[in-house]
Structure 1
Amino acid sequence: MSDKMTPIPFSSFLDWMFQEYTRNQTIFGLSRHKFFYKKNPDGIRIFDEYLETPLGPAAGPHTQLAQNIVVAYLVGGRFFELKTVQKLDRLRIDKPCIEAEDEGYNVEWSQELTLDQSYGEYVKAWFALHLLKSVFGFSESNERGFIFNMSVGYDLKGIRTERMDRFINELIDASQSDVFDRYRSVLLDKLAQPAFKRLLDKATNGQINDRYPQIIAATEQISAHISGSVTLSTMHGCPPDEIEAISRYLLRDKGLHTYVKLNPTLLGFDRVRDILDQLGYGYMALDQAAFDHDLQYRDAVPMLRRLQQVAAEQNKTFGVKLSNTLGMKNVRKRLPGDEMYMSGRSLFPLTISLAHKLAAEFDGQLNISYSGGASIYNTKSILETGIVPVTLVTDLLKPGGYARLNQLVKQVEASGWQEQATRPRLDVERLRALSQSALTDRRYHKEWREIESIKIPDALPVVDCYVSPCREACPIHQDVAEYIRLVEEGRYLEAFEVIVATNPLPHITGYICDHQCMYHCTRWDYESPVYIREMKKVAAEKAYDQFLQKYGAQLIAPSNGIKAAVIGAGPAGLSAAYFLARKGFEVTVFDKRRKAGGVVQNVIPDFRLPQSAIDRDVEFVRRHGVHFQLGVAEHFSIAALKRQGFKYIFLGIGAGRARHLKLDQGEDRVLDALDFLQNFRQNGDYKLGKNVAVIGGGNSAM
């Protein structure tokens, strides 16, 4: 696969969309079931335009190519912050440039397309969205309903170059653009083709004919005013007078509604360091010098007040975009370069704290556009403060992709967001509460994602090169995905059958398995894992009796005439006996204890593992024809077993010897954990004294 972005010719682009839809009911891989239809007239006016929903993709990988913008629109995004462009448009971008295993990091800060290519993609997307709205009726409004917000950088000199100036001017008014005229002609020519009309007719189940003249007329009338607003992005360390000069230029000379993207460094090094440490991100290597060279809060506030005045004089909207990514040292070296920029859930507490600080400074009279760790867990709360719009990048890079935006749009649409978005000022108190809760909400603590990676160490197969990491991580490679699906569907007996095909102790492992499967669950990359062990327990509890009723005597396999002895009735011995019995061996299990189960029977407290779970699994093994001789003498003879006709002998005596804790004094008062638990389980009482030290922090210690 190439790492170079290559624009698709517009004619091919149009064919691709509708041919794919008629064939698969998808557009660029997105199922029609994820398409968003605006069912009400609710919306807001911003930048002198009508906006149907307050969400969309932020400037970044999701707003470079036209197909990305199309998919974001299909799922309900309506505010598109186009990828930031600058005069240097032929830079070599080292790859990989983005990592989003948990929090996001990137080392890429420029567009990967040339200015001309970027402009072509935005015009292509502009026409495509109008066409899709006309064909599928995504909105009942006659207004466009979506906004293209250009994003430019990084200094005034570069922005005023001839090529950048043309780029900006032709987004403001494309009526003199050859590209705009050419793409309109391509679209009109395509609509005039009978084959394309048949394609659209098929895509809409024959609903297009009556509306076709209106679709053509609407295409002819598509506005050439693509964007009337801009988000200014400046380099980290850009002087305040440069930021102000660019903003004045965009407001006065270009007549653009202007938002300035600010950095979380405005909180100051100590505050940022404190928040990150408090939330478990102490490993992030901040650079004090970067904070010192960046825009300072004492300079930012008066600058923003002056720019508010300039905007008022020009009858334009001015505000801030919060926030940029947070620069730091690239100590991980998973990405190229010495610096990297952090985003995602770890950025949210910083950005929302900065939003509150600025909102309080301006008594709520500051327009804020938000993008800093926005997700399903906080976007509704962000909008309730009066902040609008909210855009995303890192969250859309996670599994689920654009469908995550669809989920967000549905949540927000049901919340009555329009009322909050039209308030005369921000709700400072709500912002204060939200910023404070971000410091205690476990979803923003590093430990919320308990694992670093779900990847397995083994290489993937050459063909069918995908595996379930949960299944691979399981020591017995249980078909986890299959039995979870069956439990979900309420098919408990079938789920139980899948489980006991490889696991004869479903009740015991339903309580105390160390569930490596869960630590390799792909849902970690969504939000939190499936509780796989719990699903196993559900299947066992609901289907055990039904399984015995169904199979009864059939559980005992025809004998092969071979006797096998299993020494030890713990989990290993029980499992060996089970699988040997299923193959027809005549199996006898020997154990010195009076009850089978080994450590799980004699050591593990019943609050961790109820006796009923052990009894059921032992009985399950017994039902398969396994015999038990319990309470036997410890010093029996292997030779004697062989004389009794046992051809095979399995040793499952466990590994219960403790590691001795060496102390300078008082070793006689050191108790081994297993000995203690075993004695306590059997005797129910233990005289320890008043002061007890527990060495360790694992399950035994707890």
Structure 2
Amino acid sequence: MSDRMRPISFERMVNWIIGEVKAKGSIYGIHSDKIYYSKPENTITFLGETLGIPIGPAAGPNSQLAQNIVAAYLTGSRFIELKTVQTLDGEDLPVSKPCINAEDECYNVEWSTELRVEEAYEEYVKGWFLMHLLQRELGISDEKDFMFNMSVGYDLEGIKSNKINSFIENLKDGSNTAIWKQCVQVLEDNLSEFTHFDKEALESISPKICSSITLSTLHGCPPAEIERIATYLLKEKNLNTFIKMNPTLLGEKFVRNTFKDMGYGYIELNPHHFKNDLKYDDGIAMLKRLRKIAKEEGLNIGVKLTNTLPVKILNKELPGEEMYMSGRSLYPLTITLAKMLANEFQGDLYISYSGGADFFNVDKLFETGICPITFATTLLKPGGYERITQLAKKLENLMANKKFSIDTNLLNALAEGALTDPHHVKGARTVGSRKVESKLPLFGCAIAPCSEGCPINQRIPEYISLVGEGNYDEAFKVIARDNPAPSITGTICNHNCQYKCTRLDYESSVEIRAMKKLAADESQEKYTEEIKPSEIKSSKRACIIGAGAAGLATAAYLRRNGMEVEVFERRQKPYGIINHVIPDFRIGEAAINRDFKTIERLGVKVNFGVNQSGSLEKLKEDFDYVILAVGAYKEGKVNLEEGSDKVLNAIKFLEQFKVGRAALNLGNKVCVIGGGDVAMDAARAASRIPGVEEVSIVYRRTRDFMPASKEEVDFAVEDGVLIKELLAPVKFNGETLICEEIALGERDSSGRKKPMPTGKLVDLPATALIAAVGEQVDTAYLEALGIKITSKGLPETGINFETNIKDVYVVGDALKGPGTIVGAMGHGKTVAMDILKKEAMKCDLEPEANKADKLSGKALKDRNELYHRKGILNMPMEGSGEAERCLGCNRVCEVCTDVCPNRANVAVKVREGGNEAYEILHIDGMCNECGNCGVFCPHDGNPYKDKVTLFWSLEDLEDSLNIGFFVQDAEKGIVIVRNELSEVVKINVSPEGCSGCCERKHISKEILSLIKAVIEEHSYLL
């Protein structure tokens, strides 16, 4: 498999467009509802050219190939900043692969186009012609409404070379180049294929492709060199010129502090760039001199803000030692630099903006007078090019009042607000990768990562859709199938599902937990009243010790499927920690009681106030299965040199708080040690104790590394809790907590920086100290029962949590230590399924396998609706309207097609056994192995390696390890295939030539169907 893109001939590109429209009604994957139509009244004149909307792709991966440019134009881009060229090009340009990681803030190790300069030029000309063709044929605009901007680097000698000089001159006028003439000829030969694009339209295409240029210089380029190049471009090349400036102009201190304040403190800067790059004062002086030259030449000089920021590679995000950062973390730097420069020139400065521009700020940027606005990172995320349509529509109403000078007051306010803008601070995306554990399958890969990430595999898209329809009763039935505690989990679940939601890569997760709570509030009581206990279908009985979330979930799953279950609980109330420890300001008694009533109605017998601490032998006289759900209540200890006896245990404190907070006396200043959810609960509870004036959480790392969920940390801060970072407790005397300051060292296996002691001590006033450092499993109890314990102090179990004693299981916190409520319920589901399987009893708990989507009637309507939601950003809504944000990933995923800038992953409609399904096909010749599809694929895998691949030559197939095929002769049906056994075989798929050899040569029905679909309905891909 080559990491080099193969330019497609112009004739093939035209045929591709015609073929794809007929087969799928789309063009390069852009669906018809995302095509943006310019409005004549909104056009503006910019640098002497007409623009429909002054936005488009920044010089980068989305503007390097003709199909990139076309996809961008169709969705609303009208200012196309062509990818930078330099003398070092093609195979001579070393680019480590993978080279893009846009998981959150984007990183890349690309420099400029990987094509030869001559090839890049041809791509830009092909894109120019195709945009004219589609503009007229689709009625996008009556007149040309777009412009190109070329981009060159990196030094004057290279720019003056024959290669780059020809590139510049031919973009100024391309009429005498071979590719220009070739494009004219192809369109002439195909005029009969078009309805509105005719010979007159063809002849009206101007050969003057570019009248402006962006200078992109390397970090460390001397100021004098930048000025010499810009002068040359103005005086010798007669081009309107933008100089790309670097965020290093702001200085290392400002950048470092900004990152820290916005939650990006983990980003490691390279100080030498700040020392060697252009300095701010030198840049201002240079711009003033260049403005004089531009005025003399009757041209314009402006700045392009900004270049990417070089940072260190520390976690193998990409290969190498240094990568270049862009995206939302770059926004506060870029907008600050824009503010500073605009103020220097009293608003009289052309600013071409690209640094974290996206849906949430594009209108604000435009209102300041900034023009044009380009973007890269947002296009590399799910939704891809189709995000541009929404951006364009957002600017429509602002076009009439377009200013060509900067409103410094607006810009100053925008820059100030950037530092706290929730769309640009780190926020919820601290959860990291959305990937689930499943391996990326060759076929049928569409999954709902929310469901896969849920420990009890709830059918989330299904119940969200039902809630959106207002069908709460059916929604609740779907929820109750997998979740026996919907009110509890609808209130305080840590929502693993939301950390896997594709919407995280748009703006924020779908509010899945809230949707569940809405259904529970509306329908649980009705559902519970209608429950009739299942008949007993087995002579076997199960005993569960502990009525916490794990124990009751196990009981519910077993009883529902026909097994008799009895639960023994030493306390007088169910749900353990939830009922006795978690404060009422997080969950009320009503929600807990509602879930327990459901458990009782299922027929589960719960015995309270019973301490079953006897031998297993006695229990097994009456029960066939024993499930231990006894929790983890052994106190975790904080290591102090002095004062350990004065420390309050967080769990005990919270129990006392629930019983009666008025009886507690903590003094006026409370410190809580720890960084998990229990620490947050303890701190918030302490702040509600009479007499307490100040509560601090003392944590040895920084807030960013706290294991507590972000929302619980935020709630604590809202309650006035102080977070004191990088401190390790040493001594406590009842009045003062002495702590040692901590420095963060290298990252450990968890990705968190190791806390390193500094020897420096600080005193914190503290009248009470609460330790929330994690409870432990009581191994003595388990060992007394005969259960083996591992070296980690946990019970030794098999994959289904059965212990060394046959038919005895452990679930919940007793299994792996303190965990989540839904995780504990997941243990119960696993155990219940294992027991039911042993007894050969019918089980309704199996996760539903992905099924091929049948496209007929309502299903087709639903699929189209889901496609319509792609690329549309919007924040959470109130009530059932939130369902509109669900992307239905189990039915339409295709994220790998969205995020590929080169359109190298395509969805192909395949017919098999009367059904129709969409399968992902990877096109080898269009891929440069950037790796971005692998970053966003919800599975553990990389589509560019792991999906069926279409090769354009036998040599390419032989050079690759991918399962895939090369169509040697489409007419005769001769295909060379690398099958799933990695054998390369020749087959004949034509009706006349097929002799049943496919099965003998280990060609699966799925691969055969895909090959036939490509040949018969998608031949434009060949």
**The two structures share one fold, judged by TM-score above 0.5:** yes
SS at match of 2:662: coil
CA-to-aligned-CA distance 1:367-393 (integer Å, 9 cap, x gap): 111011111121111111111000011
| AA of the residue aligned to 2:652 | D
Identity %: 48
- Of residues 423, 427, 437, the one that matches 1:443 is 423
SS at match of 1:381: helix
SS at match of 1:369: strand
Identify if the C-alpha distance between structure 1 residues 274 and 662 changes in structure 2 by more than 3 Å, giving closer, same or farther.
closer
Matched residue, 1:434? 414
Q: Following TM superposition, by how much is the alpha carbon of 1:76 offset from its aligned partner in structure 2, in angstroms?
A: 0.5
- Is residue 225 of structure 1 aligned with residue 208 of structure 2? yes
- The 5 Å alignment of 1:277-288 reads 277-288=260-271
| Structure 1 contact 561–584 (Cα < 8 Å) conserved | no
Matched residue, 1:101? 103
CA-to-aligned-CA distance 1:434-476 (integer Å, 9 cap, x gap): 1111122233223442212222355444554454433333222
CA distance in 1, matches of 2:475, 2:170: 61
CA-to-aligned-CA distance 1:399-452 (integer Å, 9 cap, x gap): 1111221111111113x1342x334x2111111111111122233223442212
| Structure 2 contact 174–207 (Cα < 8 Å) conserved | yes
CA distance in 2, matches of 1:108, 1:616: 56
Matched residue, 1:203? none
CA-to-aligned-CA distance 1:324-360 (integer Å, 9 cap, x gap): 1112333444323333221111111111111111111
SS at match of 1:382: helix
Identify if the C-alpha distance between structure 1 residues 660 and 237 changes in structure 2 by more than 3 Å, giving closer, same or farther.
closer
| Structure 1 contact 460–466 (Cα < 8 Å) conserved | no
- Of residues 656, 660, 663, the one that matches 1:686 is 663
Moved more, 615-624 or 524-533: 524-533
SS at match of 1:229: strand
CA distance in 2, matches of 1:577, 1:9: 65
Moved more, 113-122 or 265-274: 265-274
CA-to-aligned-CA distance 1:33-68 (integer Å, 9 cap, x gap): 111112342121112111110100011111111111
Identify if the C-alpha distance between structure 1 residues 297 and 672 changes in structure 2 by more than 3 Å, giving closer, same or farther.
closer
CA distance in 2, matches of 1:455, 1:225: 47
CA distance in 1, matches of 2:162, 2:620: 94
Matched residue, 1:310? 293
Q: Following TM superposition, by how much is the alpha carbon of 1:639 offset from its aligned partner in structure 2, in angstroms?
A: 6.1
| AA of the residue aligned to 2:77 | G
Matched residue, 1:512? 492
| Structure 1 contact 345–374 (Cα < 8 Å) conserved | yes
SS at match of 2:296: helix
| AA of the residue aligned to 1:560 | S
Moved more, 468-477 or 63-72: 468-477
Q: Following TM superposition, by how much is the alpha carbon of 1:241 offset from its aligned partner in structure 2, in angstroms?
A: 2.1
Matched residue, 1:16? 16
* Aligned residue-pair number: 677
Q: Following TM superposition, by how much is the alpha carbon of 1:7 offset from its aligned partner in structure 2, in angstroms?
A: 1.0
SS at match of 1:693: strand
Matched residue, 2:391? 408
Q: Following TM superposition, by how much is the alpha carbon of 1:478 offset from its aligned partner in structure 2, in angstroms?
A: 2.4
Matched residue, 1:153? 153
| AA of the residue aligned to 1:59 | A
CA distance in 2, matches of 1:24, 1:461: 24
Moved more, 238-247 or 469-478: 469-478
| Structure 1 contact 384–417 (Cα < 8 Å) conserved | no
CA distance in 1, matches of 2:190, 2:666: 88
Matched residue, 1:82? 82
| AA of the residue aligned to 2:288 | R
- Is residue 608 of structure 1 aligned with residue 586 of structure 2? yes
CA-to-aligned-CA distance 1:620-669 (integer Å, 9 cap, x gap): 111112223323356677666666x4443333222222223455555554
Q: Following TM superposition, by how much is the alpha carbon of 1:302 offset from its aligned partner in structure 2, in angstroms?
A: 2.0
SS at match of 1:476: coil
CA distance in 2, matches of 1:619, 1:610: 15
SS at match of 2:351: strand
CA-to-aligned-CA distance 1:255-308 (integer Å, 9 cap, x gap): 211111111122223322332233233333323322222222222212211211
- The 5 Å alignment of 1:95-494 reads 95-139=97-141, 141=142, 143-192=143-192, 197=193, 200=194, 208=195, 211=196, 215-414=198-397, 416-419=398-401, 421-423=402-404, 425-457=405-437, 459-461=439-441, 463-465=443-445, 467-494=447-474
| AA of the residue aligned to 2:632 | A
| AA of the residue aligned to 2:173 | D
Identify if the C-alpha distance between structure 1 residues 573 and 292 changes in structure 2 by more than 3 Å, giving closer, same or farther.
closer
CA distance in 1, matches of 2:555, 2:587: 22
CA-to-aligned-CA distance 1:141-175 (integer Å, 9 cap, x gap): 4x311001111122222122222222211111122
CA distance in 1, matches of 2:223, 2:671: 58
Q: Following TM superposition, by how much is the alpha carbon of 1:190 offset from its aligned partner in structure 2, in angstroms?
A: 1.1
| AA of the residue aligned to 2:220 | G
CA-to-aligned-CA distance 1:59-104 (integer Å, 9 cap, x gap): 1111111111001011100000111112222324221122211111
- The 5 Å alignment of 1:488-503 reads 488-503=468-483
| Unaligned residue ranges in structure 1 (runs of 5+) | 201-207
- Is residue 28 of structure 1 aligned with residue 28 of structure 2? yes
- Of residues 606, 615, 637, the one that matches 1:660 is 637
| AA of the residue aligned to 2:168 | I
CA distance in 1, matches of 2:386, 2:34: 7
| Structure 1 contact 588–627 (Cα < 8 Å) conserved | yes
Q: Which structure shows the higher helix fraction?
A: 1
CA distance in 2, matches of 1:700, 1:162: 67
| Structure 1 contact 562–586 (Cα < 8 Å) conserved | yes
| Unaligned residue ranges in structure 2 (runs of 5+) | 682-1022
Identify if the C-alpha distance between structure 1 residues 696 and 94 changes in structure 2 by more than 3 Å, giving closer, same or farther.
closer
CA distance in 2, matches of 1:407, 1:123: 27
Name the structure, 1 or 2, with higher relative contact order (CA <8 Å, separation 6+).
2
Matched residue, 1:204? none
- The 5 Å alignment of 1:633-652 reads 645-652=622-629
Identify if the C-alpha distance between structure 1 residues 682 and 28 changes in structure 2 by more than 3 Å, giving closer, same or farther.
same
| Structure 2 contact 657–664 (Cα < 8 Å) conserved | no
Q: Following TM superposition, by how much is the alpha carbon of 1:127 offset from its aligned partner in structure 2, in angstroms?
A: 0.9
TM-score of the aligned structures, taking structure 2 as reference length: 0.64
CA distance in 2, matches of 1:236, 1:641: 73
Identify if the C-alpha distance between structure 1 residues 337 and 606 changes in structure 2 by more than 3 Å, giving closer, same or farther.
closer
CA distance in 1, matches of 2:98, 2:611: 64
Matched residue, 1:540? 520
SS at match of 2:409: helix
Identify if the C-alpha distance between structure 1 residues 617 and 160 changes in structure 2 by more than 3 Å, giving closer, same or farther.
same
| Structure 2 contact 57–376 (Cα < 8 Å) conserved | yes
| Structure 2 contact 125–180 (Cα < 8 Å) conserved | yes
Q: Following TM superposition, by how much is the alpha carbon of 1:567 offset from its aligned partner in structure 2, in angstroms?
A: 2.8
CA-to-aligned-CA distance 1:543-599 (integer Å, 9 cap, x gap): 2134346x443x433443444333322222211221221122232322233333322
| AA of the residue aligned to 2:589 | Q
CA-to-aligned-CA distance 1:188-218 (integer Å, 9 cap, x gap): 11114xxxx2xx4xxxxxxx3xx46xx3211
CA distance in 1, matches of 2:520, 2:160: 70
Identify if the C-alpha distance between structure 1 residues 664 and 7 changes in structure 2 by more than 3 Å, giving closer, same or farther.
closer
| Structure 1 contact 11–190 (Cα < 8 Å) conserved | no
SS at match of 1:620: helix
| Structure 1 contact 280–445 (Cα < 8 Å) conserved | yes
Moved more, 494-503 or 327-336: 327-336
Moved more, 175-184 or 29-38: 175-184
SS at match of 1:175: coil
Matched residue, 1:570? 548
